[in-house]
Amino acid sequence: MVGLEIRGRIERDWPMSKLTAWRVGGPATFAVWPADEEELALVLRHGRASGLRTLVLGRGSNVLAPDGGWEGIVLMTTGLRQTIWREDGVSAGAGCTLPALAQEAARRSLSGLEFACGIPGTLGGAVVMNAGAYGGDMSGLVLRARLFTEEGGFRECSGAELGFSYRRSALQAGGRFVTGAVLRLRAREEALIRRDMDTWQTRRRQSQPLGVASAGSVFRNPPGDFAGRLIEMAGWKGRRAGGAEISARNANFIINSGGATAADIRELIAAVREDVERRFHIRLETEIKIL
């Protein structure tokens, strides 16, 4: 990135397998870790002026990167971790991780983030996809979000303006990037918060393949049903394509069991979707973002 100087980090031809939870993906032309919001804006403006595509990632926990890599900039938000805690919530940068926010909220006797204690993503990505679990999601917490806009500046918008629905937001249309958000929380005894967090973590350990490379739930749950149930009923648990495998613990997870490629994962996604639709007449939609 000729002429761009930042305090953060810039790497050329950086493997996206090092930037995504599935541990697959070829090299990005540039990988950039801005030190703060102003550097993030500088990189985004530079990319637009240079005609370079820019992909903004947190921890890459719900992204399938292509084997051929990304021609352009992959911009990591992990440097945006500032927090300002209040009696009724927190203002936090897009790079803050959900588990860290949930733990600190519990310490401060603030409730609302219990569901997020085991979601391995960042706040920015969670707002974009309206991340949720166990009956809670971001739509119930986001009071305001700070965005970098298509015009090259910043603006704040209310949670109502973000068009939240099940695992969706208006931000998924692209063009705008989350740099931070204000979450509205409520007072509650720390012991009760931690009791619920322990319950969710226990359920997660029992029902999800933790400790392996995956991107979480691959498909959105269809109305009134569960994607994992349908996939299991179709007999897909444990089936493989190359190094990619349908988890034997949760059929809505595809794990990288070693040496998987994006092509392997895409093959499984397509085959599962086709088979479930043929058997049950339900078309599964992906929850993960396929680049």
Domain boundaries, the chain: 9-76, 83-206, 211-290
Beta pairing, strands 9-15 & 27-33: antiparallel
CA distances from 220 to 132, 170, 223, 257 (A): 11, 17, 9, 23
Give the alpha-carbon dihedral of 73, 98, 118, 194, to 10 degrees.
170
Convert the pLDDT of each residue in 84-132 to its tens digit: 999 999 999 999 999 999 999 999 999 999 999 999 999 999 999 999 9
pLDDT exceeds 80 at position 266: yes
Beta pairing, strands 213-214 & 254-256: antiparallel
Q: What is the pLDDT of residue 174?
A: 85
- The neighbouring-strand residues paired with 85 are 90
Q: What is the mean pLDDT of the chain?
A: 95
pLDDT exceeds 80 at position 3: no
What is the rounded distance in angstroms from the CA atom of residue 191 to the CA atom of residue 111?
11
Q: Does the annotation count 167 as an active-site position?
A: yes
Q: Which residue's entry shows tokens 């809505």? A: 252
- Helix pair angle (98-107, 190-207), 10° resolution: 150
Convert the pLDDT of each residue in 239-255 to its tens digit: 999 999 999 999 999 99
Mean pLDDT of 166-188: 94
Instruction: Please check whether the domain covering 211-290 is classified as CATH 3.30.365.10.
Output: no
Catalytic annotation, pick one of 37, 114, 245, 287: 287
What is the rounded distance in angstroms from the CA atom of residue 134 to the CA atom of residue 143?
21
Note whether 193 and 109 are within 8 A (CB). yes
Going through 149-279 in order, the beta strands assigned E by DSSP cover: 154-158, 177-184, 186-187, 213-214, 240-241, 244-246, 254-256
Enter the tokens of residue 215: 């991107």
Note whether 53 and 43 are within 8 A (CB). no
For 189, phi then psi, to 5°, come to -60, 135
Q: Which CATH architecture has domain 83-206?
A: 2-Layer Sandwich (3.30)
Convert the pLDDT of each residue in 132-175 to its tens digit: 998 999 999 999 999 999 888 999 999 999 999 999 999 998 88
Report angle CA 223, 22, 48 to the nearest 5 degrees: 90
What is the rounded distance in angstroms from the CA atom of residue 212 to the CA atom of residue 224?
29
pLDDT exceeds 80 at position 72: yes
Enter the tokens of residue 16: 């996206």
Catalytic annotation, pick one of 217, 245, 247, 273: 217
Q: Does the annotation count 217 as an active-site position?
A: yes
Q: What is the pLDDT of residue 175?
A: 87
Q: What is the pLDDT of residue 70?
A: 96
What is the rounded distance in angstroms from the CA atom of residue 216 to the CA atom of residue 252?
8
Containing 275, the helix (H) or strand (E) segment is helix 262-280
Catalytic annotation, pick one of 167, 169, 214, 273: 167
Q: What is the pLDDT of residue 150?
A: 85
**What is the model's pTM?**
0.91
Looking at CATH, the fold of the domain delimited by 9-76 is given as 3.30.43
pLDDT exceeds 80 at position 2: no
Task: Give the model's confidence band at 197: pLDDT under 50 very low, under 70 low, under 90 confident, else very high.
Answer: very high
Q: Does the annotation count 287 as an active-site position?
A: yes
- Using alpha carbons only, how large is the chain's radius of gyration in Å? 19
Mean pLDDT of 208-230: 95
Beta pairing, strands 27-33 & 70-76: parallel
Mean pLDDT of 14-42: 96
Mean pLDDT of 17-25: 97
